[in-house]
Amino acid sequence: MSTTLENIQQQIRENPILLYMKGTPQLPQCGFSAQTVQALMACGERFAFVNILDNPDIRAELPKYANWPTFPQLWVEGELVGGCDIVVEMYQSGELETLIKETAAKAGAEQNDA
């Protein structure tokens, strides 16, 4: 049986765009998660998510692994992008959409090569 840390590492590795959040994109359970989801959805690409409220072990371990104490957390290509404030700022500057679209295009190309 894998550890929580191994699960986190696998989730990050297998999902080019991954959001750890409270709730789901359809039903966010906190304002910060809601704002982050709105910014991500506005980029028009699919993304994976983990509801940390359903996964208390991940909720406890991820801040230590990421060295980032709060949620939501956006991970792109294995790198922590940041939380709500950073994601919203990046969206407003246009940087988020560029990053998300490039990552989605790259992930799509890799799937086609497989």
The closest of 24, 23, 28, 22 to 72, measured between CA atoms, is: 22
| CA neighbours closer than 13 Å in the CB half-sphere of residue 79 | 5
pLDDT-based confidence at residue 45 (cuts at 50, 70, 90): very high
Query: Domain for residue 114, yes or no?
Result: no
Write out the two tokens for 42.
């506005």
Closest Cα to residue 20, out of 41, 45, 49?
Answer: 49
Q: How many distinct structural domains can be found in the chain?
A: 1
Residue 80 lies in a domain: yes
Q: Which amino acid is at 37?
A: V
- Quick check: 114 pLDDT over 60? no
Which pLDDT score, from 0 to 100, does residue 108 have?
A: 84
* Element holding 51 (H helix, E strand): strand 48-51
Decide if 79 is inside a domain. Answer: yes
Per-residue pLDDT reduced to its tens digit, 49-106: 999 999 999 999 999 999 999 999 999 999 999 999 999 999 999 999 999 999 999 9
The rounded distance, in Å, linking the Cα atoms of 19 and 112 is 24
- Structural domain of residue 14, as residue ranges? 4-109
CATH code for the domain of 55: 3.40.30.10
Residue 39 lies in a domain: yes
